[in-house]
Amino acid sequence: MLDAVLFDLDGTLTDPAVGITGSFRHALAAVGHPVDPSEDLRWVIGPDLRDSLDRVGVAAAQHDAVINSYRAHLREIGLFQATLHSGMAEVLARLRADEVPLALASAKMISMGETTLEHFDLRHHFDVIAGTLADGAARSKAQIVADALDGLGNPEPVRVAMVGDRMHDIEGARANGCIAIAVSWGFAEAGELERHPPDHLVDTPGELATLLRALG
């Protein structure tokens, strides 16, 4: 068995598309930068928010205002519009039954990660919650994975898997020497996982559970 497993949240455990894209639209409109309602914004799920603002052409001087508005809307409404991916609760329960330590390694603020896990009655599965700190400063996925490992007592990274859906999760795993596992049901853009190949790619939660039990 593995010594620990780290999980991304958005796109991996949950489908947060409605809440995140809705909060993003709300925040952009609040600073006079509305986005066409027909535009697919699911690509904002995963990367650092400031990078997403650059991509839609928001001036750097407006970033803080947009981010504050986005987080307020997400905290009040958006978090509760997410849905849990079918089968993922069972994956977590099986790992816990096998006494594998688990950590959340999410780009979300730690408090939002806690709220989401509690909303879906998953908090009890996790030993550590790592993410963006209370000051809201941008942090790389490599830093967040490092925090998760530290919280778990620094297990041997080669015996730890990081499970995510975007290239940032793969980069975070690689930067810390962990096994990089990508799920195909998340929000990776076309060709993203080909350009940033994980060590393993799974198509279903059942396949993920089997892989995690076989590794290590």
Confidence of residue 142 (pLDDT cuts 50, 70, 90): very high
- Is-same-fold flag (4-15+84-214; 17-81)? no
Residue 54 is a catalytic residue: no
Q: How far apart are CA 15 and CA 82, in angstroms?
A: 6
What's the pTM value of the predicted model, to 2 decimals? 0.91
Give pLDDT tens digits for 10-54.
Answer: 999 999 999 999 999 999 998 898 888 888 989 888 777 888 888
The mean pLDDT of 155-183, rounded to a whole number, is 98
Whole-angstrom Cα Rg for the chain:
17
Task: State the residue for tokens 């688990």.
Answer: 102
Domain 4-15+84-214 matching CATH 3.40.50.970: the answer reads no
| Top CATH class, 17-81 | mainly alpha
Catalytic one of 3, 8, 51, 121: 8
The whole-number pLDDT of residue 38 equals 86
Asked if residues 105 and 141 have their Cβ atoms less than 8 Å apart, the reply is: yes
The whole-number pLDDT of residue 136 equals 75
The mean pLDDT of 171-182, rounded to a whole number, is 98
Residue type, 68: N
- Per residue in 191-204, is it b (16+ CB within 10 Å) or e — as a string? ebbeebebbbebee
What are the extents of the domains in the chain?
4-15+84-214, 17-81
The mean pLDDT of 97-109, rounded to a whole number, is 96
Q: What is the DSSP string of 100-141?
A: --EEEEEEEEHHHHHHHHHHTT-GGG-SEEEEE-TT-----H
